[in-house]
Every structure is written in C-alpha cells, then in structure tokens.
Amino acid sequence: MNIILLGPPGAGKGTQAKKISEQYSLPHISTGDILRHNISMNTHLGIKAKSYMDKGELVPDELLVDIIKARLSEKDCSAGFLLDGYPRTIPQADTLGKLLADSKRKIDVILNIHVDDEELINRLSGRRMCSCGTSYHVLFNPPAKEGKCNACNCELYQRDDDKPETVRNRLVAYKKQTQPLIDYYNKKALLSTIDGGKDIPLIFEDIRKVLEKYD
Ligand code: ADP
Ligand code: AMP
C-alpha cells in the first residue's frame, strides 16, 4: 500500500504516521526528518535547506528530487510506503507521479488530515520532540516522565520552527503552496479527508477504516 499523508503543520501527520507504519509495516518517510538529519550532519543539502526551514518557508522543489528518488528506490519501499510531508507543492506531486510511473507503481490513497488553524497553533506551540522522531505535546500528549521520551528516555526539545513567528509563516506556506494539492488529488479520486480534530486514537480508528479498503 502506497500512502501519502497530507495536512498542515501540526495536523498530526507524524503522530499518525508512527501508528500506521507500525500497524501496516510500512516505512515512514518524512522529508522534514530527512532534512533535519542533513542539517545535523552539516551536509551540503542541510546547509542549503536550513535557511528556508528557519524562516518557515518550503525548501525549493529541486532540493528534494534526488532525496525522494533515492529513498523510494530502497528495498523496504517495494511493498509499500508512507509519505509524510511530501509532496508539498504541485510540481513535487508531478515529480512523484513520474517517479512512481517509471517503476510501475502508483499512489493508492491520500489521507488528508484536516485541523482548524487555532488548534494547529496550540498543537505546534506545545509540541516537544525526541531525536528518535517521536513527538509529544505538553498538554495533549505528554510523556510519562516530564521532558523525557517514553521510548528511549532521551531529553525532549522544542523544534526551532515551532516558535510563533515561524509557525505563522509555515501556515501561510501551507495555504499557498500545499493546500492546492487537495484539489489536485481530489480530481484523481485519491483523497480521503480525515477529521484531525479528534483524539489521537479516534483519528487512527478513522484512518484504519479508510485503509481497510486497500489492504
Ligand atoms: P505534524 O507531523 O502534522 O506536523 P505532529 O504529529 O507532530 O504534526 O503533531 C503536532 C503536535 O500535536 C504534537 O505535539 C502532537 O503530540 C500533537 N497532536 C497530534 N495529534 C493530536 C490530536 N489528535 N490531538 C491533540 N494533539 C495532537
Ligand atoms: P515538517 O517536519 O514536515 O514539518 O517539515 C519541516 C520543514 O522542512 C518545512 O517547514 C519545510 O521547510 C521543509 N520541508 C519538509 N518537507 C518539504 C517538502 N516536501 N518540500 C519543501 N520543504 C519541505
């Protein structure tokens, strides 16, 4: 099963991706995580991407082509994958379509997680991350031990781009560049919209109901 998770920053894509990936044994491919890894390793790509990410802007499409191409050609993606945060623009969606067609694959379903703006701001301002990729929320999804990851006991941190000014820019970028993908994929009859305003386990139940049709 080849799945795309679509939705604004803070909608809960990463949170649900972790559950979907475990339940359906699909590799979770987050372009945000890949870019942050490149930043931490000080790679050429990381240095270029950082200037955009710090401002809450999308990194240019061309910086992601080789990354996504290489990742989707890895063996663990042959039986399916879960994309989180890619595509984020129409040119990226076109690139993805061509890459998949070249390897005789296609997207099966796009899960579009919808959450109101006010709730997104609350979620992003209270988000705390672990370097293992798990995300928490100080109020809505707190770790068992304050400031520590449940899975690996590492210290949690706040993402730089979860600061209020950057969050505003990220929401503007989402509306301008990513939201048009809803229409793009709706026209291809691939989109299922999920109410992301519910509690985390209830959203996962709704997602499972959609995925049952493709499993
Ligand atoms: P995204 O990957 O879409 O940017 P995350 O999965 O990191 O979003 O979630 C953003 C924040 O909201 C995190 O702090 C997460 O713990 C919290 N969160 C995720 N889903 C919900 C939910 N259904 N209700 C309340 N908080 C949530
Ligand atoms: P995320 O972890 O998905 O919230 O992404 C964090 C940041 O990484 C975004 O605000 C963008 O700057 C950058 N990014 C991640 N994925 C993409 C993408 N597909 N296209 C452009 N920029 C991206």
d(CA 81, CA 78): 8
Cβ of residue 10 lying under 6 Å from some atom of ligand 2: no
Does residue 37 have a pLDDT over 90? yes
pLDDT band at 30 (very low <50, low <70, confident <90, very high): very high
Q: Mean pLDDT, the chain, as a whole number?
A: 96
Contacts of 64 (CB under 8 A, 6+ apart): 31, 86, 92
pLDDT digits (tens, 9 = 90+) for 39-66: 999 999 999 999 999 999 999 999 999 9
Q: For 2-26+79-116+175-211, which CATH superfamily applies?
A: P-loop containing nucleotide triphosphate hydrolases (3.40.50.300)
pLDDT digits (tens, 9 = 90+) for 64-96: 999 999 999 999 999 999 999 999 999 999 999
User: Among this protein's residues, is 159 annotated catalytic?
Assistant: yes
List strand residue ranges (DSSP E) for 61-196, in order.
81-84, 109-114, 127-129, 135-137, 191-195
Pick the catalytic residue: 50, 159, 198, 208? 159
Ligand number with the minimum distance to the CA of 65: 2
Does residue 133 have a pLDDT over 90? no
pLDDT for the residue 214: 83
Cβ of residue 9 lying under 6 Å from some atom of ligand 1: yes
Q: Which two tokens stand for residue 84?
A: 């989180």
pLDDT digits (tens, 9 = 90+) for 108-126: 999 999 999 999 999 999 9
Tell me the best of 36, 122, 127 to mutate to test the pocket of ligand 1, counting ligand atoms within 8 Å of each CB and taking the most. Answer: 127
pLDDT for the residue 12: 97
Q: What are the structural domain ranges in the chain?
A: 2-26+79-116+175-211
Tell me the best of 29, 34, 35, 69 to mutate to test the pocket of ligand 2, counting ligand atoms within 8 Å of each CB and taking the most. Answer: 35
- The CB density around residue 165, as the number of other CB atoms within 10 Å, is 10
Does residue 215 have a pLDDT over 80? no
* Percent with pLDDT over 70 in the chain: 100
User: Among this protein's residues, is 208 annotated catalytic?
Assistant: no
The stretch 183-191 carries a mean pLDDT of: 95
The closest of 34, 50, 137 to 85, measured between CA atoms, is 34
